[in-house]
Amino acid sequence: MKKHRPSRFSNRGSVALLIILLVGSAAVRIGTSANSALAEVDLAEGFSLPLSTVSASATPQVSDEVNIQSLLDALRAREKNVVKREGVLAARSKALDVAQIEIERRLEALEDAEQRLRATLSIAQTAAEDDLTRLTAVYENMKPKDAAALFEAMEPAFAAGFMGRMEPTVAAKILAGLDPQVAYSISAILAGRNAQAPKN
């Protein structure tokens, strides 16, 4: 029986297949590298930065945008707070204005009331003074004996008030007709008033 020897043609086929595979693998690698290189080319500007550099620089840009957005949000929040505070201050200012107007109105009312009261007191004092003047004149025109009887019935302080307003000669005649004890009390009150009166 003869041994089967591989033919020369089959050895050549294996080598050719191996070469084809190696060439194909190299072509695939070259194609992948070429695609990567082409992806990094900017047709308008020329060659761009490597892909690794572009992707690395994209992160700070996003971070800056986030920081700017945060700053804008903070500014908007602060603006809202400022507007709110301005509203509160405006309301307080309006309330103070209303209170000021009310206070001024009440002060005017008090001043009017004070003026009316002064006028009333002035009228009352004038009327009382007029009454005392007329009554003193009545006592002065009475007979001393009759006037003395009335003065004895009065309180000493009240009688001394009229005696101090009378003419001295008329008052002396009335005092002469009084009970000595009553006359002494009236005289003591008159002397005390004169002693307390300012000298200058």
Q: What local confidence, expressed as pLDDT, does residue 20 receive?
A: 75
Reading the block at residue 173, the tokens are 């005649």
Region 4-23: what's the mean pLDDT? 60
DSSP 3-state of 69 = helix
pTM of the prediction? 0.39
Average pLDDT over residues 29-44: 51
Give just the sign of the alpha carbon dihedral 95, 97, 103, 109: negative
User: In this structure, are residues 136 and 166 in contact, taking their beta carbons and an 8 Å threshold?
Assistant: yes
Q: Residue 46 pLDDT more than 60?
A: no
User: Each residue of 112-126: pLDDT tens digit?
Assistant: 888 888 888 878 777
Instruction: Encode pLDDT of 133-174 as tens digits.
Output: 898 999 999 999 999 999 999 999 989 989 989 999 999 999
Rounded to an integer, what distance in angstroms lies between the CA atom of residue 156 and that of residue 134? 20
Residue 136 structure tokens: 């003193």
DSSP-derived secondary structure letter, 43: T
Q: For residue 132, which amino acid is it?
A: L
How do the domains of the chain map onto residue ranges?
Answer: 59-129, 142-200
Q: What is the mean pLDDT of the chain?
A: 77
Q: CA 73, CA 42: separation in Å to the nearest integer?
A: 37
Q: Residue 49 has what pLDDT?
A: 43
> For 64-75, what is each residue's pLDDT tens digit?
777 888 888 888
Q: What is the pLDDT of residue 131?
A: 84
For 143, phi and psi rounded to 5 degrees? -65, 140
